[in-house]
Structure 1
Amino acid sequence: MTAINTLTEFLTQADTQFQLFDLGRQVRPLDSAEFVRVEQQAIPYPWPLQQHAWLAVHFFQRAEEKHYLWFLKFALDERGLLVSAGPKHFMDLVVETLGYKLTGELDDATAKRLADNPYTFRPAEAKMASLHAKLGCQLEQAPSGYYQALCHYLAAPSEEGWQQLGLQGFADLAERLQQESNLALVCKAMARLPEAPLHALCQSLESAPLPPALQGALLERIAREQESAHPNPETLAYLCRAFAATASNGQRINKLLTLLETHPSPSLLLAIAGRLWPDLQDPALLDLFLERLAEQPTPFFNQVFAELVTLPLLRPQVLATLRSPTRSEAVSRAIGRLFKAG
């Protein structure tokens, strides 16, 4: 057995077919070649959350029908590089428990021993549903039993009937938006959905790239919410989060600017920082976002600012604000308090 230093080598040596997903801010595939570079500390982890990489590892052996999932979180250093001691320790624990045979039936005691380590986590229900929907489509499996019930409800949304809908149905639908009938169904329903099913739908859309027609329907629903007598801050945040897997564009940035021009809720600020952070590469949006963030209580500002700094794509711009001579008094004071707290 050759020396094994990385998770990729470990899974390869165990003769598994495997693929990786990031489960931090949304559910998205993680390119295996890119992850090898992360493991070599050649590049920072692209999507850190709370200074960790949150991974789903899907693996199987060609000779077996059963598929397996590991949910693993590994610490990152202040530069976003993987702390290699974590994966190595995890692999030691697995070898101690299973040897190099990673597939096959486990008895309860072995399964408990394998799960009882500091590197595993249980994903939120919505993320688990999205991952299962993605894998189900990939493996050409039928959607869950909740899918048809949801399609039936969306054809005539009402205040009744949504209580029986399962999150898995929303996730299954989000993965099938390329079907023209589904796209038309969701676009038409978007204007009429009550808040609870709307929130569930938006949560599932976070992990699916949205066709232009659905982007337009979401922007219209945001505008309608903005113009209502009492806009619901949670609904606005969910509607914005729905764009998470969709490439940024000028229309969306302009909409975010209008949302930030009023006094946005903490939920909306978290939606932008947590899901739409690539949009903050726009200098005007970043400036206004930091301005609004500085109006929040100090612990909230410190937490969100610290998260933004960890994102490799955004880090240079956010750090540049520390030295910017044009930053506002409010942002300067908030940054001053951040350094005092540190």
Structure 2
Amino acid sequence: MEKLLTQLLQHDDNRLRIFDMGRRISKLPIDTFTRVEQNRIPYPLPFLHHAWVGLLLWNPSAKDQNLIWFLKLPLDEQGYLIQAARDDIVNRLLQNAIDPQSEQDALKDNPFAFTPDQEKMASFHALASCTLKTPASRYYEDVQQYLAGQLDRDYWSNLGLQGLADYVMRLDQGDNTNQLCKCISQLPEPLLLMLARLLEHTQPNPALQQRLADHLLQLLQHADTPPELIAALIRSLCGGSDKIRDQAIDAVLASPYALEAEVIVALATRCHTSLNQPQRLQRFLEQLAAGKAGQLGFNRILSDLMFLADLRPRILEAFRDPNRSEQLSQAIGEMLGSGFSTTGHAH
């Protein structure tokens, strides 16, 4: 019988956790990934036509010697794993099965390895230390003290990215969530921006999510709010309650900020489940067509969204809406005329 990646990695005393790394970091059940490997289901969270996965491997008796790998696996037009890519990694592992160091090399030095950006890497390390129940980084305490108001307000620039990621992944510990709720609206803008982007990998409780949403709604009232801050706050809401997130998204779509490229990208890449609602999807498409992302942005964003099985028929239905604007009709025409395939993505 054909060997599976999950079988090869869970040997002896090894423990394995798999995380999706595409849009945001989220736990991927091993049985789900096994079914993806067996081509029984499409990859559930495709991003840019790939499965982006993080693998955390450890021995319970030596947690400090854990191994972390990141793999970017190509998907076919229907979102199924391209077997040749998986087979290549499995073969590398089988060739090096005797030597654990070689196993590490087999997963790192292969054409499907990738390195996440700094923020994602910090968040993954924070999540790994929570999973393994090992201590946070030495920068964590500084962040705790700062957000509790125990350090000078200007000290924020000394806070380390890893410490911020550790804090965000430990919102359920001590008084962390409560402290963050209290100080959100007073935080220096660069710090709020960073914390908001890190929060996308968590599920903030309703109280914190509501504070973030309220702050976002306040910022929408000002014409001089940086678009990247609006985008970051949208990202901070994506993992929590649907109702709070959807109300905030509706307010963003009704504002001039929806025309900003980074804002519309944050909505598309982090809040795609909210776009399943037909009226919201229609508003999103109208703003995307009219916005600063331009025709190229329109094509790229929809190429990615139409790869999601649940959104694809809704987008095609919205394309046929007789009430769509001339601007949206034109953008759709340009996209379809540029070799865009309605069975897949832009060529």
1:32 to partner: Cα distance: 0.8
Compare 222-231 and 68-77 and name the one that shifted more: 222-231
Name the counterpart of 2:124: 131
Name the counterpart of 2:18: 20
**Does 1:203 find its partner at 2:202?**
no
Name the counterpart of 1:289: 284
Q: What letter corresponds to residue 144 of structure 2 in structure 1?
A: C
1:64 to partner: Cα distance: 5.0
For residues 17 and 107 of structure 2, the distance between their equivalents in structure 1, rounded to whole angstroms, comes to 20
Query: 1:88/1:280 Cα in 2 relative to 1: closer, same or farther (>3 Å)?
Result: same
Match of 1:67, SS state, is: strand
Name the counterpart of 1:89: 88
Q: Which of the residues 116, 120, 135 maps onto 2:113?
A: 120
Q: What letter corresponds to residue 34 of structure 2 in structure 1?
A: V
Query: Contact between 2:37 and 2:86, CA under 8 Å: does it hold in 1?
Result: no
For residues 315 and 246 of structure 1, the distance between their equivalents in structure 2, rounded to whole angstroms, comes to 24
Name the counterpart of 2:343: none
For residues 116 and 5 of structure 2, the distance between their equivalents in structure 1, rounded to whole angstroms, comes to 20
Match of 2:52, SS state, is: strand
Name the counterpart of 2:250: 257
1:12 to partner: Cα distance: 3.8
Query: Contact between 1:302 and 1:338, CA under 8 Å: does it hold in 2?
Result: yes
Query: 1:52/1:111 Cα in 2 relative to 1: closer, same or farther (>3 Å)?
Result: same
Q: What letter corresponds to residue 160 of structure 2 in structure 1?
A: G
Match of 2:186, SS state, is: coil
Name the counterpart of 1:336: 333
Structure 2 length normalisation: TM-score? 0.89
Give aligned-pair identity as a percent.
35
Name the counterpart of 2:36: 38
For residues 60 and 155 of structure 1, the distance between their equivalents in structure 2, rounded to whole angstroms, comes to 34
Q: In the TM superposition, what whole-angstrom CA distance separates every residue of 1:215-258 from its partner, at most 9, and x where no partner exists?
A: 11111211221123512211111011001222411x43232222
Aligned residue pairs: how many?
333
Name the counterpart of 1:270: 265
Name the counterpart of 2:302: 305
Match of 2:237, SS state, is: coil
Query: Contact between 1:309 and 1:315, CA under 8 Å: does it hold in 2?
Result: yes
Query: 1:74/1:207 Cα in 2 relative to 1: closer, same or farther (>3 Å)?
Result: same
For residues 160 and 234 of structure 2, the distance between their equivalents in structure 1, rounded to whole angstroms, comes to 22
Q: Which runs of 5+ in 1 are unaligned?
A: none
Name the counterpart of 1:80: 79
1:61 to partner: Cα distance: 4.1
Q: Which runs of 5+ in 2 are unaligned?
A: 340-347
1:341 to partner: Cα distance: 1.2
For residues 181 and 63 of structure 1, the distance between their equivalents in structure 2, rounded to whole angstroms, comes to 31
Structure 1 length normalisation: TM-score? 0.90
For residues 111 and 176 of structure 1, the distance between their equivalents in structure 2, rounded to whole angstroms, comes to 29
CA RMSD of aligned residues (A): 2.1
Query: Contact between 1:158 and 1:193, CA under 8 Å: does it hold in 2?
Result: no
Match of 2:306, SS state, is: helix
Aligned ranges for residues 128-167 of structure 1 at < 5 Å? 128-156=121-149, 160-167=154-161
Query: 1:139/1:12 Cα in 2 relative to 1: closer, same or farther (>3 Å)?
Result: closer
